[in-house]
Amino acid sequence: MPKLKAGTIITTPAEGAALHKAALSDPDAVVLTDAPWDQVKPLVRRGRPLGSGTKTQVTLRLDVEVVEKFRVTGDGWQTRINDALKSWVKRQA
């Protein structure tokens, strides 16, 4: 049996059965079976959002002045570099 925190109260099987019976007799209680729990989704997604799957990660060395010029424009500067490169590629086609 795992170690329990001090003060943890363990019910006997008889007490557990009495609690279960009392919970089922509560008119406000909602009995949840496995089916409703399968529908439950977390309210908050944590971590980085999933990518689009259409990009690839690369290591690229750019001139300092190029990076600084884009960084001063604020958040999303890397996306703007991508857009500038994409625009260049389209003009070359």
DSSP 72: T
pLDDT digits (tens, 9 = 90+) for 16-72: 999 999 988 998 888 778 887 777 777 777 787 777 778 888 999 999 999 999 999
Distance of CA 52 to the CA centre of its chain: 16
Tokens 């496995």, residue? 34
**CA 39 to CA 93: how far, in whole Å?**
48
Residue 23, C-beta contacts closer than 8 angstroms, at least 6 positions apart: 29
**CA 37 to CA 35: how far, in whole Å?**
5
What pLDDT score does 64 carry? 97
| The amino acid at 64 | V
What pLDDT score does 1 carry? 64
Share of the chain above pLDDT 90, in %: 53
